[in-house]
Structure 1
């Protein structure tokens, strides 16, 4: 098992829910965890839960926190002892294998970029996010918000990162990679998209399946969909809002449908909760990996509770075990040597 550092002070419910999530990960998966933050608060929660002497749980004190409203870059440089900064340094120094970062996405991306560092040959990191699809699996959207103004070369690199993640972490035998665009034709879209399409068509790292339209994301036609961070984040947030709208309309229809509709809804509720709602619950995944850095960092939702943190730690261990940075480095080295 890999050792995972957790920013225990990040998120809306820190440190209680974060520490509880760490405890659950240790109990359920036997993953070694390093809780970084206010050691007095963290140790009290551990003691209250009978885990103060657990050899798989380590506490490292950090005296500062990067708040949600702070400018990520400025705060990271100013607050050297912030919990996310200390956690990132543990990976950089080889003392931990991965970081779980709930709270500010900007702070997490900055910690990955400046604290851990980029893979040589990768200009900008990217967030890869799973979206449930009709085939029962996930479509992996990359980038979901790390870089809003990328160049075509950045999107090409994102495609490589997403392909490696889908193949080696998610064990999709031959991932189909598509470029998010407004049409399937190679000439459609902005200059950024047409130039990226040309680069993707010429590269030999993986098979390129062409343009993907927005409606293709939930069908499962593509395993990896490449986008700039601005568009990707809009797609992600729209999907979240649409899911909430669907639930609201479903409840309203049952309420308005009379006694039979209510009885039907009551009968359907267990199946919907088990087979549908579980797929849309972000806590099941726990977080989204930041790819392109020379280590493993999982960004968790700011409102994450213990279940989400537990699963984020599990995901961090899984990603770290596959050593994605090494795979990407090897691919880029081969490309450089062949030039």
Structure 2
């Protein structure tokens, strides 16, 4: 009996020691992970720039160097170019051009405009961009949008459900003439005919009007219209959903029960924009809470304290 009591006491002691050390190791692990997690938040991912509009397929491009928003500096490498540009734009950097033959660097700030790109890669031109777009979506570098085309044709309500279930994306919303231009080129290059948008007819006091309804119960006014034939179909109160027709490059209301393809759109993270002063490298740019979509690698390099970027598909 005494021997059993001793063995029991020892087993209880071992159990208590195990729990104690497990707790200690757990705390140490949290302490190790916490600063690492904070460090992750300081990273940005830069990828090579491609366009779906400059050719009939995904094409490597550089930013058009005739744009007057570019900031020109010297840099000895792609990494130094990005780091210097991050500093000059107050972290509001859309991307860079780097010519390996001469070591020239051009900073492309984040602005609310249509970026011009070129397939001319003379001088070893390499363009890198940073964006928050899931891999399932095509990133449109010209206007910073993320699209996913669903070939299967469905009714408007089913199409909206399909998009909502795809990473919480939504039916297409055409915000302005820039997006209209991009859409017509993007869909034309992919040989698409027409796609559903988030446009839907609503009523207030028997007065009908169209709104964007990207999610059930979520509505916003339509501020940009490009109706076919000046909206001749609007008088048909049975046509309550909006399609974008590529052939005529216009919006048109149609029957919600019709079946069309759908272009899902996912909203990128809201950004502060760079305010450009043409005669100076200075700016009134504000620092944004930039985002992270990759883990940092262990190698670090620096310029003015900015160390945390990661290049993808970098030759240098």
**TM-score calculated relative to the size of structure 2:** 0.30
**TM-score calculated relative to the size of structure 1:** 0.28
Q: Larger strand proportion, structure 1 or 2?
A: 2
Q: Larger helix proportion, structure 1 or 2?
A: 1
